[in-house]
Amino acid sequence: MHKQIPVGFSQRIQLAWLEQTASGFAGGATRTEIEAQLQRILKDKVSVGGISPRGNREKIITILLKTWVTVPSHLEPLRNEAVPLWQRLPQDQRLAAHWGLIAATYPFFLVVTDALGRLLELQGRVSAAQVQRRVAEIMGERETVARAARRTIRTLVDWGVLRETAEKGLYQAASPVPLEPELSRWLIKAILWAEGKPAATFSSLIANPGLYPFKLAVTPYDLKTDSQLEITRQGLNEDIIVLK
């Protein structure tokens, strides 16, 4: 059980809002300018008429800003590397940049997507209740955890990487999106940060269940070109990826 992992990612986040935040930051806008723009966008969509200083709208904006703008200091190099990637990526691969930054900033997101990915691999279709049970085994049975897990699942449906089936309450994965090598390499670093591990096997990273919507195209040789990574060999054929 990992009760020490804060929930953090507790709201239903639209992809368009992430795109707006990334666009503002990449364009050189200040935090104040980006926050004001997000307030205008969300004013008629979330917490309409609400007076709470920490309503859902403010929580959503906090998540958006912390993902791209006010990232934890140790993740600034990862974010800075993501900006030019995001700017040139085709639309269908941009989600991977948001995904990596969210996972690194909010490890709870990876807890949910990892549980979801494992269940999808095992049985093809899953219910929200099944995912919530897996998450509860890791995070503990708390209403805040259950609610955040439900909202994360709905977020993934909104993003199109989880699809409702004809059978009510059951979901299945969308077809994985192939990622280019440079983005795949960056995403591996993001997952190492998200898991709080300095190292992991290449095979476990490339097939990480928490990355189920994507098909990574990268080899250990590709990772050797990254100054932030170190590759060591364990046994005859297992490569260990180390985050420096």
Query: pLDDT by residue for the chain (244 residues), tens digit each?
Result: 455 788 999 999 999 999 999 999 999 999 999 999 999 999 888 865 555 546 889 999 999 999 999 999 999 999 999 999 999 999 999 999 999 999 999 999 999 999 999 999 999 999 999 999 999 999 988 999 999 999 999 999 999 999 999 999 999 999 999 999 999 999 999 999 999 988 999 999 999 999 999 999 999 999 998 999 999 988 888 899 999 8
pLDDT at 1: 43
Tell me, letter by letter, the H, E, C secondary structure of 123-188: HCEEEHHHHHHHHHHHHCCCHHHHHHHHHHHHHHHHHCCEEECCCCCEEEECCCEECCHHHHHHHH
Paired tokens of 9? 């990612």
Q: How many angstroms separate the CA atoms of 58 and 61, rounded?
A: 5
| Beta carbons within 10 angstroms of residue 146's beta carbon | 17
pLDDT given for residue 49 in this prediction? 55
Give the global pTM. 0.94
CA angle 212, 14, 152 (to 5 degrees): 50
